[in-house]
Amino acid sequence: MRKISADYIFPISSAPIKNGIIVINDSGKIVNLLSSSSGLEDVEKYEGIICPGFINTHCHLELSHMKGIVSEGKGLVPFIKELMSQRAADSDFVQQCIKDAEAEMMANGIVAVGDISNGSDTFSQKAKRNLHYHTFIELYGFLDNQADEAFENGRVLGSKLEKQNSIYSLVPHSPYSTSQQLWEKICQWNIENKGILTFHNEETEDENKLFLDGSGSLIELMKWFGLDTSFWKSTGNTSLNSIKGLLPKNTKTLLVHNTMTTVKELSSLNMELESPYWCLCPNANWYIERKLPNLDNFIKTGSKITLGTDSLSSNWRLSILSEMQCIKKHYPEIRTATMLSWGTQNGAELLGIESNFGTLEKGKSPGIILITNSNNGEITGSSQVVKLI
């Protein structure tokens, strides 16, 4: 039995407890939360903030071998071109980088991950159950005549995860890389299998230009991929508004990046879908385009936010705390308690693991982390994570 105290304990499900105590049994399960250490012996006292383990809702673990390879700040299309041109690597090297990246996430207090997979490179590491994973098998198919093959390839990958009892969903990459027929197949699969839908949404201004009038750099990217772009039919609307009618109303849906998403779009989708979540990956946005979403829009509309790290091809580290520090740098008025709920409780709810993760409550084993170098309960640029349980 351990009795752990800190300057502040953030249960997330309730108000922070100043100088609180968390009591944990030998298996890491929470036995009690106390507001005073009076009469207790052998209390471990720490300076800083104690909170539940972090939930990383958007990661590309399979790209871990590309750390530092792709140029920063050039925009999404140059980023994609560099990524695709330099992605190939020795299999043993790829596997070691995946293992190292997972260890980095664990050291940074991450306990569960929503991870994008285009292939099976990460499956053997996930089978070790070091972290809780929900694998999003990502499908591409610009043309309707590619839909059947793309969908079947996803089903084959999913069967591999089923054999190791791993959780997965089939998902589209983005509105511009997924034909309507493939969208419909993916959405129907998630309805039937109670899956989670996720996709990259409005990551760059050129995504909306493509849908509005067929202009911008993404049409050139399609040509670079060797596509005859005569198939593309602009909708005269934004990317999100062009596909939102395809989204199942009662399926959990995670929209990722959302750099260009407007207040009107947020309000509309929040009203039309039962469980929309909005994942922010600020360091990746900054790495790729030196631009962040307007967080005021998300807060103003009461949008349910989660946090992700994206991949080491587009980030300097795999750390939810680092994402919070980036937000704090650009939006100093956003309180730590708010960001912690994004990085813990909301992510756990999205992944359907809130019965054990995301909050500090009796009977749960959510992981216990300490955030050091805080300032009166607020994280700072020098804060670090120490994994306690």
**Same domain as 289, residue 215:** yes
> Are 127 and 167 spatial neighbours (Cβ–Cβ below 8 Å)?
no
**Same domain as 311, residue 190:** yes
Helix (H, G, I), strand (E, B) or coil at 117: strand
Bridge partners (DSSP) of residue 59 are: 115, 310
> Are 112 and 143 spatial neighbours (Cβ–Cβ below 8 Å)?
no
Q: How far apart are alpha carbons 212 and 236 in whole angstroms?
A: 4
- Domain of 201 in residue numbering reads as 54-357
pLDDT for residue 38: 78
- Summarize pLDDT for 9-25 with one digit per residue, the tens: 999 999 999 999 999 99
Neighbours of 150 (CB within 10 A): 24
Name the one residue in this structure whose structure tokens are 């940074």: 108
Neighbours of 190 (CB within 10 A): 21
Nearest one of 287, 385, 325, 218 to 66, comparing CA atoms: 287
Give the tokens for residue 362.
Answer: 């009796």
Longest dimension (CA), the chain: 76
The torsion angle over the Cα atoms of residues 60, 63, 67 and 68, rounded to 10 degrees, is -100
**Same domain as 234, residue 308:** yes
**Same domain as 64, residue 25:** no
**Same domain as 244, residue 211:** yes
**Same domain as 371, residue 388:** yes
- Summarize pLDDT for 226-267 with one digit per residue, the tens: 999 999 999 999 999 999 999 999 999 999 999 999 999 999
**Same domain as 119, residue 131:** yes
Q: β-strand 276-280 against 305-307: which pairing, if any?
A: parallel
| DSSP assignment of 168-197 | EEEEES-STTB-HHHHHHHHHHHHHHT--E
**Same domain as 96, residue 198:** yes
Whether the predicted model's global pTM rises above the 0.95 cut? yes
**Same domain as 175, residue 69:** yes
- Return all residues near 287 (Cβ < 8 A) that are at least 6 apart: 72, 73, 314, 315, 316
**Same domain as 364, residue 351:** no
Q: What's the domain count of the chain?
A: 2
Task: Tell me the CATH number at 377.
Answer: 2.30.40.10
- Phi-psi map region of 336: left, alpha, beta (phi>0 left; psi -120 to 50 alpha): alpha
CA angle 214, 294, 306 (to 5 degrees): 100
Regions in the chain scoring below 50 on pLDDT? none
**Same domain as 369, residue 254:** no
Task: Tell me the CATH number at 307.
Answer: 3.20.20.140
**Same domain as 241, residue 191:** yes
